[in-house]
Amino acid sequence: MKKIDKVRKAAVIGFIAFGIGVGVYESATALPQHEGVGTGFMGDVKLSVAIDGDRIDSIDVISHSETEGISDPAFAELIPAIIEEQHLDVDNVAGATYTSDAIKEAVKDAAAKAGIELEITEVVVEEKSVEKGRGIEGRGEGYLDDIVVEVEKDGDKITNIWVTYHGDTKAIAEPAFEELKEAIISSQSTGVDMVAGATWTSEGYIEAVKDALNK
């Protein structure tokens, strides 16, 4: 496996131009571009990665079908982080786990086509404490205890969902919360599929969101 040298942040800034919406990340020099694909929440995420020797020089977003507003922070934060760190062991963006994983997968795929092997190590991001009172509180019955959420709305649009309390098994419940949150915000509906292996937790989460929306 080729070793990739770490570059300084100051050097990275010179290589990146930030766009609006999807985001455009362009190289200042003409370098070979390698396309990579990762599987996001709503479909494929396609990136073009410019490689300069053993170094990732730039990453361009070719296309994606992820939900705007949810996925935007993942593209805006992860791409510069990967270029700066020159590896994929960077934190996923909270609330956009699937998009974050897809970006890493696409970069790995593109790098492999350039003869560079990058490993994706699972980075566990601890849930930050949530200040209550930011949204409408709702409560549902989970597998082991109640699930309490707060739902943020902009008019009739659901913009965010926080779990403020739950007593279910963390390793099972929290991935389910993340998946359900993305599904509900993307579809703007609570009529989403249960998460396999976490049916009762899923039902409790959806019940809590419905409870909040009915207030």
For residues 97 and 13, state if they share a domain: yes
Q: Are 150 and 135 in contact (CB under 8 A)?
A: yes
- 55 and 16 inside one domain: yes
Do the beta carbons of residue 165 and residue 171 sit within 8 Å? no
Does the pLDDT at position 24 exceed 80?
no
75 domain-assigned: yes
Residues 109 and 168 in one domain: no
Q: Using alpha carbons, list the distances in angstroms from residue 75 to 37, 130, 137, 143.
A: 14, 24, 30, 34
Total number of domains constituting the chain: 2
Assigned domain for 21 exists:
yes
Q: Which residue has the tokens 């956009």?
A: 96
Residue 47, domain extent: 9-113
**Percent of residues, the chain, with pLDDT higher than 90:** 50
14 and 106 housed in the same domain: yes
Last residue of a domain, one of 49, 82, 113: 113
Nearest to 193 by CA among 38, 40, 39, 41: 41
Q: Is a pLDDT exceeding 80 seen at residue 35?
A: yes
Full-model pTM = 0.55
Instruction: Decide if pLDDT at 158 tops 60.
Output: yes
Residue 26 or 81, more confident:
81
Please indicate, yes or no, whether residues 105 and 65 belong to a single structural domain of this protein: yes
- Residue 121: half-sphere exposure toward Cβ, Cα within 13 Å: 5
Q: Which residues of 45-64 are buried (b: 16+ CB within 10 A; e: fewer)?
A: bbbbbbbeeebbbbbbbeeb
Residue 62 belongs to a domain with what CATH number?
3.90.1010
Q: Give the pLDDT confidence of 94-129 residue by residue, as tens digits.
A: 778 888 999 999 999 999 998 888 877 654 444 443
> Does one domain contain both 20 and 103?
yes
C-alpha distances in Å from residue 137, one per residue of 17, 68, 144, 147, 156? 40, 25, 19, 11, 16
